[in-house]
Structure 1
Amino acid sequence: MRWKKALSTMNPYKPGRSTEDVKKAYRLDEVVKLASNENPYGCASTVTEFLGSTTMPFEIYPDGHATNLRAKLAEKHGVDEESILFGNGSDEIISIISRALLDEQVHTIMLTPSFPQYAHNARIEGADVTEIPLKDGRLDLNDYIGAINGQTAVIWVCNPNNPTGTLIPSNELEHFLEQVPENILVVLDEAYFEYVTDPQNVDSITLLNRFPNILVMRTFSKAYGLASFRIGFAVGSSVIITELNKVRNPFNNNTLAIAVASKALEDDAFIEHCRKLNEKQRKRYEAFAAEKGIHMFDSETNFVLIEVPGDADEAAEFLLKHGYIVRSGNALGTPGYVRITMGTEEQNTGVLQAFTLLLQEKGR
């Protein structure tokens, strides 16, 4: 087989362990998954009620234009309907962008550590990749500007950043966008936008008129609680969306996903409720880290990246034995830390108790 050369240095995505697998391996009755930044409060009641009553013609292809969902999103965000691109999760949108704009002759810039699919897809396309390291846990956007060259085609900005949870102040982001040449696409990946509570944060979609070279990505997988349906979207100028649609596979979103996402948009109160509950739990982690004298990155998401004593894999394994699945920082480019999705109050009480035992075992 004549595989792309880039594949020889890459590995397939390795999913985390399932709760059933962990129960069996450690003989546990209860296991809490806090590794994938899912919404512990589920989804809106509008969705569950819809799923309990709907019937669909399974033999018919999906609406390839996602007409109803497109209209609702356009109204919600005050944009033209042709300014929206749908993907089978944000992952597919990243691959669509990469396929449309990246190849062996172009250059792309991203942060490290950050969401790994930017680099993964760029390398599949053979692009020259520049990864900008965090400084004291934050992105210095001046480093992005300094890395731009004549072949730069795409700049990826994960905001808030995964896995650190840190948010770029809106005034810094706007100053950065003013300096980026108009022929470079700036992708603003805002998967955790609904969790942000910083009152100074600006909705990036409102910046589209000033900066037509940006593309704002959002998802229904996080705050909306629809991860299993795999549906994300991007908002940008109609010119950019038209070009990206040339790469998008037809019928890439299934009928049920489109329908439940439309229903989820009808319940803004659910999102607000989740945001408030999440903020309350986030403050618990902040207080815990301060009390124990361990470092935790400032987070504007539904997860925290928190310091552990010793090796991160060992710490994750310790928590796993106590029934809590978290993500080791060794796999995220942040050794010495674990990433914990903020669960319910009860779930967080349990994982913090287990974390305290970990600290005690290590003499902290």
Structure 2
Amino acid sequence: MSNLKQTHIVPRKTLDNIKPYSPGKPIWEVQNELGLTKVIKLASNENPLGASPKAIDAINSFVTEIHRYPDAGAKLASAAIASKLGIKAEEIIVTNGGDELISLVSEAFLEAGDEIVVPSPSFSEYEFGAHLMGARTVAVPLKEDYQYDVDALLAAVTERTKIMYICSPNNPTGTYIPAADLKRLIEALPEHVLLMVDSAYSYYASADDYTSGMEYVRAGYPVIVLQTFSKIFGLAGIRVGFGAAPEAVIRTILKVKEPFNVNALAQIAAAAAITDEEHVQASIEVNQLGREQLYEGLSELGLSYTTSMSNFVLVELGTEAKSIYDQLLAKGVIVRYGTIWGLPRHIRVTVGLPEENECFLESLKEILG
């Protein structure tokens, strides 16, 4: 058979701006590539305690029903989440992870030529959603200590701005926007701007002046709060998250949602996990102890790090960061190299179990000599 004809199908021009998402390496891939048997993954901010036991029980009890289509409205999960948050089920949209919510919000509100305002460095999917719709991303640098600059964020808003994203705690820095600053930002934003507060890591935040932003949803502000079951609830592998927003905002987003966007097992697991207080508290405790373990070990090695309100720590390694990242990988320790966020001198390390944190620190000590 002759070679296939060269295609002349022209993709959308905006795809020139899109780079595929680069996730952390899975354990099996590192094992296969490097011939290692023991590998620890501290790259993707997963819960080291595993999934919520209540979610696992719910999945096991429901697995014989997977020949049925899932509930298109995810009513059971929406009701459980709404009950937990003290809002109406109509103010919830359940999505295929937080990533899908960002895409849906982009599809629902952005036209070609519109603008979004994002902090920098932060989660790359905000920019992806804008590019998808042919919108422009206006990046506002965080301050030198990775704190939010409310004045700079407000100064970046124009008549073309449709969405502003605030990631708090912020990925990859672990810093957050204090409640007073978020209040000032929300009250100063023009009425035509939708604010998304991405609080995927909210359960890990221990600062007295932290807020997820949910009170603004309850008060009817044009705010949508993103949360996920991938982190503290340990359900990253089945992809489920949600958005909370005033009912009018949710109705608009539902217009672009696919009918069966969240699979049945994810829905039943989310409804159970949201009630699993014991698992949440255990996860918070292991994370707080793990953060302190990393801080102490990194300080002993003379390394700079950013104090985190999340389940990861941003570590500055200097000009040798890429080499150190590669050497950690060779030792079977997977972390994230910071170049994806424009931080080539840094790595981001997920807080693991005590023995995983110790393995990382010992490996780092060996590399640094």
Shared topology, TM-score over 0.5?
yes
Distance 2:63 2:111 in 1: 44
Q: Which residue of 2 aligns with 1:237?
A: 246
CA displacement 1:305-358 (0-9 Å, x = unmatched): 101143322111111111101110112221111001111000001001011122
How far apart, in 2, do the equivalents of 1:107 and 1:200 lie?
30
Whether 2:156 is the aligned partner of 1:174: answer no
Amino acid at match of 1:128: R
In the alignment, structure 1 residue 12 sits paired with structure 2 residue 20:
yes
1:46 paired with 2:37, answer no
Question: For each residue in 1:108-131, what CA deviation from the matched residue of structure 2 results, as whole angstroms up to 9, or x when unmatched?
Answer: 100111000001120121112100
Within 5 Å, give how 1:120-135 maps onto structure 2.
Answer: 120-135=128-143
Tell me which residue corresponds to 2:226: 217
Note the 1:173-192 alignment, pairs <5 A: 173-192=182-201
Q: Give, in angstroms, the shift of residue 162 of structure 1.
A: 0.4
The within-5 A match list for 1:142-221 is 142-210=151-219, 212-221=221-230
Give CA deviations for 1:181-211 in whole Å, capped at 9, x if unaligned.
1221000001101111112223411222445
Structure 2 CA distance for partners of 1:105 and 1:209, relative to 1, 3 Å: same
Give 1:133 deviation, angstroms. Answer: 1.1
2:112 equivalent in structure 1: 104
Match of 1:88 in 2: 96
| SS at structure 1 position matched to 2:306 | coil
2:305/2:313 contact within 8 Å kept: yes
Query: Secondary structure, in 3 states, of the residue corresponding to 1:160?
Result: coil
Question: In structure 1, the residue corresponding to 2:314 is in which secondary structure?
Answer: strand
For 2:363 and 2:259, the matched residues in 1 are separated by 47
Specify the alignment match of 2:293 in structure 1.
284
Structure 1 residue 290: Cα displacement: 2.6
Consecutive unaligned residues of structure 2, counting only runs of 5 or more, are 1-8
Deviation larger for 311-320 or 240-249: 311-320
Is 1:77 the counterpart of 2:85 in the alignment?
Answer: yes
User: Could you tell me whether the CA contact under 8 Å between 1:108 and 1:154 is conserved in 2?
Assistant: yes
| Higher mean C-alpha deviation, range 71-80 or range 13-22 | 13-22
Could you say what secondary structure the match of 1:208 adopts? helix
**3-state DSSP of counterpart to 1:257:** helix
1:217 touches 1:233 (CA, 8 Å); kept in 2? yes
Q: Secondary structure at the match of 1:312?
A: helix
Question: Counterpart in 2 of 1:339?
Answer: 348
Q: Distance in 2 between matches of 1:210 and 1:251?
A: 30
Consecutive unaligned residues of structure 1, counting only runs of 5 or more, are none
* Identical-residue share of aligned pairs (%): 33
Q: Name the residue aligned to 2:5.
A: none
Q: Tell whether the 8 Å contact from 1:327 to 1:339 is kept in structure 2 after alignment.
A: yes
**Aligned equivalent of 1:35:** 43
- Contact 2:123-2:171 at 8 Å conserved across structures: yes
Mean Cα displacement is larger for which, 11-20 or 179-188?
11-20
Deviation at 1:47, TM superposition (A): 2.2
Alpha carbon RMSD of aligned pairs, Å?
1.4
1:81 deviation in Å?
A: 0.9
Paired with 1:83 and 1:278, the residues of 2 have a C-alpha distance of 30
Taking the aligned partners of 2:345 and 2:100, their CA distance within structure 1 comes to 31
Range moving further from structure 2, 29-38 or 39-48: 39-48
Give 4+ residue runs of structure 1 displaced > 4 Å after superposition: none
CA distance in 1, matches of 2:288, 2:58: 28
What amino acid is aligned across from residue 77 of structure 1 in structure 2? L
Give the residue type in structure 2 aligned to 1:73: I
1:321-340 mapped onto 2 (5 Å cutoff)? 321-340=330-349
Equivalent position to 2:64, from 56, 72, 80: 56
Decide whether the 8 Å contact of 1:63 with 1:255 is kept in 2.
yes
State the alpha-carbon separation in 2 of the partners of residues 77 and 71 from structure 1: 10
| Amino acid across the alignment from 1:28 | L
* 2:275 counterpart of 1:266: yes
**SS of the residue aligned with 2:305?**
coil
**SS of residue matched to 1:340:** strand
SS in 2 for 1:132: strand
**Residues paired across the two proteins, number:** 360
Pairing partner for 1:246 from 216, 238, 255: 255
User: 2:212 touches 2:225 (CA, 8 Å); kept in 1?
Assistant: no
Letter in 2 for 1:99: E
Secondary structure at the counterpart of residue 129 of structure 1? strand
SS of equivalent residue, structure 1 residue 56:
helix
Q: 2:31 aligns with which of 20, 23, 26?
A: 23
Deviation at 1:272, TM superposition (A): 1.0
